[in-house]
Structure 1
Amino acid sequence: FDPLANKEYTEEQEQKELLSQTTTPELEADDGFIVTSASSTQSTPSISALSGNISPDSQTSDPITKAVRETIIQPQKDNLIEQILKDLAALTDRDLAEQKRKEIEEEKDKTLSTFFGNPANREFIDKALENSELKKKLESIEIAGYKNVHNTFSVASGYPGG
């Protein structure tokens, strides 16, 4: 409970609040956009399925950004793409399904920024995010990942400047 704001926090909200206070501006601006379902409500947390504007291979990142990419962003992207591919397999328009599958496969070893950044693909992303199992999985990746990053790069763990 936050007496100043006169509201209660869930554990997840407390984690996000803690992280927002400890996140550096470079981290916030470094990695693309947040994907949320178009039908999401306030009770549905946003999900960090990010398209990287900078290829991880083409630039040396600071250790915190690298850890966020490896422990949160990439696993979330992998899970989101896995669900999109499952949804495409069930699509009745086989030509469209095959076209989108190829787009994903061609870009899979990269950041997938083209696929995630294409407004025409929004419906596939939204459909995948309607899956409650996927939402839970993405949320748990995010929470566990940020806990790990925070614990690894905090002053208490001996990280300089943490």
Structure 2
Amino acid sequence: MKIYHYNNWHIRANDERYTPRYAVLPIIKYLPQKAIIWCPFDTENSEFVLALKEYGFNVIHSHIAYGKDFYTYEPECWDIIVSNPPFSNKRQVFERCLSFDKPFALIMSNLALNDSFPCRLFKDKELQLLMFDKRIQYNLLERIPFASSYFCHKLLPKQIVFENLDIVKGQMSRMYKDMEDFVK
């Protein structure tokens, strides 16, 4: 497996899976319109950043590739985190998100529910799930072996919400171009 190093981060090649636009759209209706959204794992070409701005949200984006490490960087003013974090650091990402005591929505593999960290981290805090009827296709092969959901806190109207995904075949995130430039 190819591993890229940036500061003290190890970015595994399989950690960089970008969310297609159709998977961003279902969370938008649950976000308060006047909220400032922080996308901490995103470049300006992230489908999160592009779609949220298109829907009128004030969006702040940051990414480790540009020197803004999620574990040490925090924007001055923000209300909600929405993003697709690296899957390999999921426990640390959720610990940091919960430490802010603000709402968040993070796309994560449903396989994370098999781990013990959700039980420990959300024991006294409500974990909410926005689940889908289909798997998000993070690549053009259309053979993703796992389902994903938005793992949320303080955001959804109830603990589990089901949504249909309107998958657009062949639609890939524009963020792939940014990261191709970064890893060269």
Normalised by the length of structure 1, the TM-score is: 0.27
Q: Which has the higher helix share?
A: 1
Larger Rg: 1
Structure number having the greater strand percentage? 2
